[in-house]
């Protein structure tokens, strides 16, 4: 069960909602708020859809290349940004624990997902789990203290192409912030979804049974539950579209009618025209030739890359040089 949100968390949630829905022109909501208990469960269901091949590609690569990924690593400390349920990470940790005991620090904003991850990975012999229910960078600062010994290098995992949720300049800045918390000897395993036919992408983000629509609409339901809003979910619809100029899928919630919504905890009333949208998420897709330059300009040294051919998807191992 979810714990009740804290007052400080609700204040931040309300402030970010107020800012996003008050933007001139295009209204926005932060995608990180998708992942309450229901949202996390819906996303896990999405990953099993035949149209959504990204998670299965990640799992195939981790299972096929786990030994190669850890071959040159001596990392008793593994930190994962956005762990989800932890299932995809298990094979990698098992490969590491065949050589040495590991401390695994999952970082997850969803308490429900973090609890499931701690249960899943807690079954792996040789792994000590220390979880952080925090935003990415706050959790990383806690998991990678500046005074950790030289004998404790870290492997940081950022899986599932979550980096694609950032605009490209913001992704670079976020990777630089990660690099600033790492030190020579550490490594980053970054997953990136690759460009593929538009029809294939759209079917993954607008599945025929409506799970992605439910996932997107649950964001409004969460505003109702936690901030006292009065969104009528039947008057909004899920919209996914591909922006070829920026190489990204964009997810929106489109108002079916002209309407006004009250959000008491955010101290705002929001007007919507018929057809107006709330932009809820980006998912940027990369070309293979984009990836090594991205590593270098954000302070990393590219070490290796593995690519899934069934669903074009890349796993990138980047090091931190002295």
Q: State the Cα–Cα distance between residues 236 and 30, nearest whole angstrom.
A: 17
Q: What is the pLDDT of residues 133-157, one digit of tens each?
A: 998 999 999 999 888 877 778 999 9
Residues 268 and 144 in one domain: no
Instruction: Please check whether residue 114 lies inside any domain of the structure.
Output: yes
Residues 141 and 58 in one domain: yes
Residues 112 and 184 in one domain: yes
Dihedral sign (CA 80, 210, 171, 139):
negative
Residues 173 and 298 in one domain: yes
Residues 149 and 126 in one domain: yes
Per-residue pLDDT at 4 = 56
Q: State the Cα–Cα distance between residues 292 and 274, nearest whole angstrom.
A: 44
Q: State the Cα–Cα distance between residues 301 and 67, nearest whole angstrom.
A: 20
Q: What is the dihedral of CA 315, 136, 107, 302, to 10 degrees?
A: 30
Instruction: Please check whether residue 44 lies inside any domain of the structure.
Output: no
Per-residue pLDDT at 1 = 39
Residues 69 and 156 in one domain: yes
Residues 239 and 311 in one domain: no
Instruction: Please check whether residue 237 lies inside any domain of the structure.
Output: yes
Instruction: Please check whether residue 191 lies inside any domain of the structure.
Output: yes
Residues 189 and 268 in one domain: no
Residues 128 and 153 in one domain: yes
Residues 67 and 101 in one domain: yes
**2 pLDDT higher than 50:** no
If you compute the radius of gyration of the chain from its CA atoms, what whole number of angstroms results? 20
Q: How many domains in the chain? A: 2
Q: What is the pLDDT of residues 3-39, one digit of tens each?
A: 556 678 899 999 999 999 999 999 999 999 998 889 9
CATH code of the domain containing 291 = 3.40.50.150
Q: How far is CA 70 from the centre of its chain?
A: 23
Instruction: Please check whether residue 47 lies inside any domain of the structure.
Output: no
Residues 184 and 264 in one domain: no
Determine the structural domain holding residue 217 and report its residue range. Answer: 7-34+199-284
Instruction: Please check whether residue 43 lies inside any domain of the structure.
Output: no
Residues 206 and 163 in one domain: no
**226 pLDDT higher than 50:** yes
Instruction: Please check whether residue 70 lies inside any domain of the structure.
Output: yes
Q: 54 falls in which pLDDT band (50, 70, 90)?
A: very high
Q: What is the pLDDT of residues 154-177, one digit of tens each?
A: 999 999 889 999 999 999 999 999
Instruction: Please check whether residue 185 lies inside any domain of the structure.
Output: yes
- Reported pTM: 0.90
Rounded mean pLDDT, 116-131: 92
Rounded mean pLDDT, 50-59: 93
For residue 305, give the nearest of 194, 142, 145 by alpha carbon: 194
């Amino acid at each position: 069960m979810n714990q009740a949100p804290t007052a400080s968390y609700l204040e931040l949630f309300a402030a970010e909602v107020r800012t996003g829905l008050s933007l001139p022109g295009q209204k926005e909501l932060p995608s990180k708020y998708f992942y309450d208990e229901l949202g996390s469960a819906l996303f896990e269901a999405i990953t099993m859809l035949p149209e959504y091949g990204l998670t299965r590609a990640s799992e195939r690569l981790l299972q096929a290349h786990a030994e190669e990924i850890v071959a040159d690593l001596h990392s008793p400390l593994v930190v994962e940004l956005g762990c989800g349920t932890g299932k995809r990470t298990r094979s990698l940790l098992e490969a590491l624990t065949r050589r040495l005991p590991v401390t695994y620090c999952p970082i997850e904003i969803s308490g429900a997902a973090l609890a499931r991850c701690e249960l899943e990975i807690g079954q792996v012999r040789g792994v000590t789990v220390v979880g952080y229910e925090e935003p990415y960078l706050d959790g990383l600062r806690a998991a990678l203290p500046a005074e950790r010994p030289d004998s404790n290098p870290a492997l940081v995992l950022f899986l599932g192409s979550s980096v694609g949720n950032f605009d490209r300049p913001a992704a670079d800045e976020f990777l630089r912030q990660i690099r600033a918390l790492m030190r020579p000897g550490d490594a980053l395993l970054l997953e990136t979804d690759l460009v593929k036919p538009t029809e294939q992408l759209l079917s993954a983000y607008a599945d025929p049974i409506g799970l992605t629509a439910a996932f997107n609409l649950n964001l409004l339901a969460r505003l109702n539950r936690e901030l006292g809003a009065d969104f009528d979910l039947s008057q909004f619809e899920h919209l996914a579209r591909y922006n070829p100029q920026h190489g990204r899928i964009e997810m929106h919630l489109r108002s079916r009618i002209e309407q006004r919504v009250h959000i008491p905890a955010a101290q705002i009333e929001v007007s919507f025209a018929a057809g107006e949208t709330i932009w809820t998420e980006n998912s940027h897709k990369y070309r293979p030739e984009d990836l090594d330059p991205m590593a270098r300009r954000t302070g990393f040294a590219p070490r290796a890359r593995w690519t899934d051919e069934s669903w074009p998807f890349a796993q990138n191992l980047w090091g931190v040089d002295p």
